[in-house]
Amino acid sequence: MVLRVAIACDHGGFKLKQEVVEYLESAGIPFQDFGTFSEESVDYPDVVLPVAEAVARGECDRAVLLCGTGIGVSIVANKVPGVRAALCHDTYSARHSRLHNDANVLALGGRVVGPGLARDIVADWLETGFEGGRHARRVGKITAIEEKYALRRS
C-alpha cells in the first residue's frame, strides 16, 4: 500500500521541512505539501488544521508537522478527533509511536533536531507498522474518549 503523506510547517519549521521534503523526494515517497513555503511568520494553528482534518477524514494516511519546537503543531493536531499526533525527537519514540500508539501524525521541532536525525526519525516512523493486539484496545479507548466529548458538545 502506498501511503498518502502530508507535510506542513510554520516559519519555525520551514528549514527542516525542506530537508524532510528532500528526503521524501529522494526516497520516492509521494507527499502533499500544505506549506508554509517561506520563513515569513505564520500562526501554526492555521497551517495545521487543514492537514489534521485531511488525516481525520482519511484523505491522508500520515502527516509530518513541523514548528520551532514541534509542541504547538502537536497540540493543535491532537484537538482534531481521529488524529494521534506524536512529538518525537528520537527514533525509539518515533518507532514506538507507530508500534504502540498508531500515531498518524509526527511532530518535529525545526529548532530542536538537525536534518540527519530528522530524516532518520521520519524514515523509521513511515516504515513502522502498528502492532495491534493490546495496543489496539488502548487506542480504542482513546477513540472512546473522543466520542464521549463529541457527544457532550453536540
Q: Check: CB of residue 116 under 8 Å from CB of residue 82.
A: no
x-or-dash pattern for ligand RB5, window 35-74, by CB under 6 A? ---------x----------------------xxx-xx--
In whole angstroms, the minimum distance from the beta carbon of 14 to ligand RB5 comes to 9
100 is catalytic: yes
Decide whether 8 or 72 has the Cβ nearer to ligand RB5.
72
Which residue, 67, 68, 118, 107, is CA-closest to 84? 107
Decide whether 11 or 119 has the Cβ nearer to ligand RB5.
11
In whole angstroms, the minimum distance from the beta carbon of 29 to ligand RB5 comes to 24
88 is catalytic: no
Q: Which residues contact 50 (CB under 8 A, 6 or more apart)?
A: 8, 34
In whole angstroms, the minimum distance from the beta carbon of 68 to ligand RB5 comes to 3
Give the other-Cβ count within 10 Å of 51's Cβ: 27
Q: How many residues bind ligand RB5 (CB under 6 A)?
A: 8
Decide whether 102 or 112 has the Cβ nearer to ligand RB5.
112
The residue whose Cβ lies closest to ligand RB5 is 72
Q: Is residue 122 near ligand RB5 by the rule CB under 6 A?
A: no
Which residues are catalytically annotated?
67, 100
